[in-house]
Amino acid sequence: MSSVQETVLEINLNHLTHNFEYLKSKVDPKVKMLAVVKASGYGSDAVIIAKHLEKLKVDYLAVAYAAEGITLRKAGIKTPVLVLHPQPVNFSKIIEYHLTPSIYSIRTLHEFISSVTLAKQQQYPVHLKMNSGLNRIGFGKNNLETLIKTIKATPAIKVEALLSHLAASEDNLEKEFTFDQIKVFKELANQIINSIGYTPILHQSNTSGILNYPEAHFDMVRSGIGLYGYGNDAKFDQHLKPIASLKSVISQIHELQKGESVGYNRAFIAKEFTRKATIPIGHADGISRQYGNKNGFVIINNKKAYIVGNVCMDMIMVDITTIDCQEGDEVIFFDPKHSAAQVAEYSGTISYELLTAISPRVKRLVIEDN
């Protein structure tokens, strides 16, 4: 029998604690920890994760967009929340909910100063995003002068931190590039510090940087705390414990004779006697069409069962011809023993995409033993 009776995403808070403490042990005790809980905590549940991390005394939280930060505040989260990629249309809300924007361009700088002025506030804390080589968002050499001049001329904002993001910290072949990113960040930061006359918090490292680049730890490190199901760096496999497990149950079993088909468009046709099981999860739950037609699999009684035919909106069908199982048995998409990274890789994607796609329709179940 299965431990679950429907499709659920289990969130293991003991594993979250373990990962948080492990990553903390890898940085100097003076270095602050910022936990990234963007995209619903990498597809898990941002509020559940943030509340637990707040108990563990995380120093900072980060989300990608303002709405995610507002969700945390409405749930009672008091920890500072950095909004990594805010849009000017939400600046007044960011101020209203005491969120910290990461300002990344002259345009967003001017817009934010206007919003703070309109809200009749001063010295509002902001983080300034530096582009050290990822070339996504951030200030660079070319606009540093305008940036510094603007900051010095306004009482509206105070630079609480300077940050930058690494492009390839998990890649051993890109060490030279990464060291260059660290150097570029230091140079940009030094110029700002020398001009504004005070020293903000510096942060550049992501999870892989915590392990691979102590030089990039500075005053704070940022990490998804292994919420993404690890797997993007082999070094982590031994240390970080996957937090989320996606499980379901066999709804029904059918026996097919040669020539009978499965699902829409008859995408699977049995070449011989075939047993198939139907599982209550589909593309509306985040199992994308790319997993269909044997590009994806689930685990039933420790064996791989390949998805046959097309993924439907609410269901998938899997081949269980050689698997001893019954209706009601447990189905594992991924769990600590069967990583999301492996499932994702098999169908040509990464765990981040698989996890963040899991829709709100899938029930979140918190696991915690004390």
Ligand X SMILES: *Cc1c(COP(=O)(O)O)cnc(C)c1O
Edge-to-edge strand order for the sheet containing 330-334?
A: 252-256, 274-279, 316-319, 303-308, 297-300, 330-334, 244-249, 8-12, 363-367
Q: Which stretch binds ligand X (CB under 6 A): 184-192, 201-209, 260-268, 298-306?
A: 201-209
Query: What is the closest distance, in whole angstroms, from the C-beta atom of residue 210 to ligand X in the complex?
Result: 9
Given the complex with ligand X, which of 7 and 206 has the nearer CB atom? Answer: 206
Q: How far apart are CA 24 and CA 18, in angstroms?
A: 10
Given the complex with ligand X, which of 213 and 306 has the nearer CB atom? Answer: 213
What residue ranges in the chain does DSSP mark as E strands?
8-12, 32-36, 60-63, 81-83, 100-103, 124-130, 157-164, 201-205, 220-223, 244-249, 252-256, 261-262, 268-269, 274-279, 297-300, 303-308, 316-319, 330-334, 363-367
Asked if 217 is part of the footprint of ligand X (rule: CB under 6 A), the reply reads no
Query: What is the closest distance, in whole angstroms, from the C-beta atom of residue 361 to ligand X in the complex?
Result: 24
Query: What is the closest distance, in whole angstroms, from the C-beta atom of residue 129 to ligand X in the complex?
Result: 8
Q: Which of residues 7-36 bind ligand X (CB under 6 A)?
A: 36
Query: Among 12, 178, 206, 248, which residue interacts with ligand X (rule: CB under 6 A)?
Result: 206
**Residues paired with residue 205 on neighbouring β-strands, in sequence order:** 221
38 is catalytic: yes
Given the complex with ligand X, which of 7 and 223 has the nearer CB atom? Answer: 223
Q: Which of residues 82-111 bind ligand X (CB under 6 A)?
A: 84
The 305-344 contact track toward ligand X, x by CB under 6 A, reads ----------------------------------------
Q: Which residue is nearest to ligand X (CB)?
A: 224
Element (H or E) spanning 352, and its range?
Answer: helix 351-356
What lies within 8 Å, CB to CB, of 370 at 6+ separation is none
3-state secondary structure of 175: helix
Query: Among 228, 230, 268, 306, which residue interacts with ligand X (rule: CB under 6 A)?
Result: 228
Query: Among 12, 19, 71, 223, which residue interacts with ligand X (rule: CB under 6 A)?
Result: 223
Query: What is the closest distance, in whole angstroms, from the C-beta atom of residue 23 to ligand X in the complex?
Result: 9
The 46-85 contact track toward ligand X, x by CB under 6 A, reads --------------------------------------x-
Q: How far apart are CA 134 and CA 122, in angstroms?
A: 32
Given the complex with ligand X, which of 139 and 297 has the nearer CB atom? Answer: 139
Query: What is the closest distance, in whole angstroms, from the C-beta atom of residue 306 to ligand X in the complex?
Result: 29
Which of 21, 57, 58, 56 has the alpha carbon at shortest distance from 36?
A: 58
φ/ψ of 280, rounded to 5, equals -80, 65
The alpha carbon of 220 is separated from its chain's Cα centroid by a whole number of angstroms, namely: 18
Q: How far apart are CA 270 and CA 319, in angstroms?
A: 10
Q: Which stretch binds ligand X (CB under 6 A): 18-26, 65-73, 200-208, 329-337?
A: 200-208
What lies within 8 Å, CB to CB, of 154 at 6+ separation is 113
Query: What is the closest distance, in whole angstroms, from the C-beta atom of residue 220 to ligand X in the complex?
Result: 11
Pick the catalytic residue: 264, 303, 337, 363?
264
As annotated, the binding site for substrate includes: 136, 313
Q: How far apart are CA 336 and CA 230, in angstroms?
A: 10
Given the complex with ligand X, which of 224 and 242 has the nearer CB atom? Answer: 224
φ/ψ of 98, rounded to 5, equals 55, 45
Contact by Cβ (8 Å): 273, 355: no
Given the complex with ligand X, which of 133 and 292 has the nearer CB atom? Answer: 133
213 is catalytic: no
Site residues for ligand X per CB under 6 A: 36, 38, 84, 165, 206-208, 222-224, 228
Active site residues: 38, 264
